[in-house]
Amino acid sequence: MAKAKAQRAASRTRQGRRDFLVRTAGGALAAGAVSAWPLRAKAAEAVNIGGLYPVTGSFAQIGQGCVNAAKLAVAMVNDAGGIKSLGGAKLNLIVSDVQSDTTVTRTETDRLISNYKLSAIHGCFASALTLIASEVAERAKMPLLTGSSSDQLNVGRHYTFTPFARASQFALAQLQMSKLVSDKPKVAVIFENTAFGTATSKGLREQAPGQGVEIVMFEPYSAGLTDASPLLNKVKASGANMLFPVSYLNDLILIIRAIKQVGLKIAINGGSGGFVIPDFYKNVGTLAEGLLGVAHWNHDMNADSQKVNTAYQKQYGEFLFEYAGGLVAQTFMIADALERSASTDPQKVRDAIAALDVSSGYAAMCPGGKVKFGADGRNIYAHPVGVQWQHADLATVFPQGEARAPLLKA
């Protein structure tokens, strides 16, 4: 027993001596470091940005692609040195699954803002979800960038910014593109009764007379079709020579398949929504070839978009689609605002976004290559491009000055 006590006492003595030596050595090293080497700078604290996307539910196909693109964009910013005015601070992406549900979107937007020190948010792409997220962000005075197209996002808001084309602009582009098919377009419009479908179809109806386009059918339907045949039989009876389906992915797949089943021979401009993502072609195959659409972003627009597309394809095995590609640009817009404001404060970041005026680099990776926001949060240079499915890929074919491939006659 006495021997054991003696050993423990000796151990404590040795431990105490080691602690002393460590403290002394540490002090000596620190003192020496002042004269021998400059003190190493403290690593800059990461900058949190939020991402609100549906990775489950009916919008999951697009939502997961957006998350993948958001991660790629953050890695690009960080690999390039982070936010230099903040000491090289890295971006830290915090993603929340809004589950394709408006109620969940409201609670998740509030949770994200309340629980994390965020500088900005991007999301949600689906207009019905983004309108809710924007309301929450506005109350919290949190800047939100979005690729959603609803014109309502630019009414009475001060923290919401839309770098890409509005629903009314999509409608105008579709109407103008109908002249590529016929000198006297007779159009049937079928649209889902959501914020996206209602806003886009309204723009079509209002602008059609001024573009010399006759709308011979204007038919809403409840999103989540189980049988598109009755709707398409009405199109068949309308005498239309072109169809504009305003739908997200699942409904659009059903509509395109049903067109063949009912024997309807008609030109189609699928607009935006589900039409311009890789999963559309995966599901309908060669039925997509030659079909037209519109997009607020396409991967062949310029050298920057092509470079990002190559990186995305290498990692995920498919081309970078509209919403995801636009999200890369939005991430760089946030990075640009952080750089210029040299602050993580949401109000200062908001003011820097409002003052954004770029015409080069990834932040300007939009149709026309310019971004400058008006007082209503809209990019004053924003406009859509017309695209066509060609050989399992989307090629920009409209307007003529921005076309990257000749139009194929379907």
pLDDT tops 80 at residue 107 = yes
Residue type, 347: Q
Same domain, 84 and 160: yes
Which residue in the block uniquely carries the two structure tokens 């693109």? 69
- Per the structure, the complete domain to which residue 191 belongs is given by 168-295+386-402
Residue 107 resides in a domain: yes
Give the C-alpha separation, 50 to 42, whole Å.
25
Same domain, 256 and 397: yes
Q: Do β-strands 371-372 and 357-358 pair in parallel, antiparallel, or remain unpaired?
A: antiparallel
- For the whole model, what pTM was predicted? 0.84
Residue 41 resides in a domain: no
> Given this model, what pLDDT does residue 42 score?
60
Report the percentage of the chain scoring pLDDT > 70: 90
Which residue in the block uniquely carries the two structure tokens 């059903």? 254
- Domain of 331: which CATH number? 3.40.50.2300
Same domain, 116 and 216: no
**319-344 confidence digits (pLDDT tens):** 999 999 999 999 999 999 999 999 99
Same domain, 184 and 222: yes
pLDDT tops 80 at residue 28 = no
Same domain, 256 and 345: no
Residue 112 resides in a domain: yes
Sheet of strand 186-192: strand arrangement: 214-221, 186-192, 242-246, 267-268
> Given this model, what pLDDT does residue 137 score?
98
Number of domains making up the chain: 2
Record the tokens describing residue 188, joined without a space: 């049937």
**138-192 confidence digits (pLDDT tens):** 999 999 999 998 899 999 999 999 999 998 898 899 999 999 989 999 999 999 9
Same domain, 174 and 265: yes
Q: Which SS3 state, helix, strand or coil, does residue 319 take?
A: coil
Note whether 321 and 278 are within 8 A (CB): yes
Same domain, 259 and 128: no
Report the chain's C-alpha Rg in angstroms: 27
Same domain, 211 and 329: no
Record the tokens describing residue 308, joined without a space: 């990002």
For residue 234, give every residue at least 6 positions away whose Cβ sits within 8 Å of its Cβ, in sequence order, or none: 188, 217, 219
Residue 40 resides in a domain: no
Same domain, 308 and 336: yes
Average pLDDT over residues 246-254: 89
Residue 137's beta-bridge partner residues? none
- Cα distances from 74 to residues 77, 119, 200, in angstroms, run 5, 14, 31
Residue 30 resides in a domain: no
- Cα distances from 173 to residues 122, 169, 371, in angstroms, run 26, 6, 20
Give the C-alpha separation, 367 to 364, whole Å.
9
Give the C-alpha separation, 207 to 203, whole Å.
6
pLDDT tops 60 at residue 35 = no
Note whether 160 and 146 are within 8 A (CB): yes
Same domain, 129 and 112: yes
Residue 88 resides in a domain: yes
**119-145 confidence digits (pLDDT tens):** 999 999 899 999 999 999 999 999 999
Same domain, 160 and 56: yes
Same domain, 272 and 395: yes
Residue 19 resides in a domain: no
Sheet of strand 144-145: strand arrangement: 91-97, 47-53, 118-123, 144-145, 160-161
How far is CA 151 from its chain centroid?
16
Residue 36 resides in a domain: no
